[in-house]
Amino acid sequence: MGEISVDRQHLDHLLADSASPYGTPYQEAFAALAASHRGRPAAEILPLLRAAADQALLGFTPADLREQSEAISSGAPYTLRVIVTG
Question: Cα dihedral angle (27, 74, 77, 67), rounded to 10 degrees?
Answer: -70
Phi then psi dihedrals of residue 81, to 5 deg: -90, 125
How confident is the model at residue 18, as a pLDDT? 72
DSSP H helical segments within the chain, as ranges? 26-37, 42-55, 62-74
How confident is the model at residue 55, as a pLDDT? 92
Per-residue pLDDT of the chain (86 residues; tens, 9 = 90+): 889 999 999 899 998 887 777 778 999 999 999 999 999 999 999 999 999 999 999 999 999 999 999 999 999 999 999 999 98
- Helix, strand, coil shares of the chain, percent, nearest 5, are 50, 15, 35
Per-domain residue ranges for the chain? 2-85
How confident is the model at residue 77, as a pLDDT? 93
Predicted structure pTM score: 0.88
How confident is the model at residue 48, as a pLDDT? 97
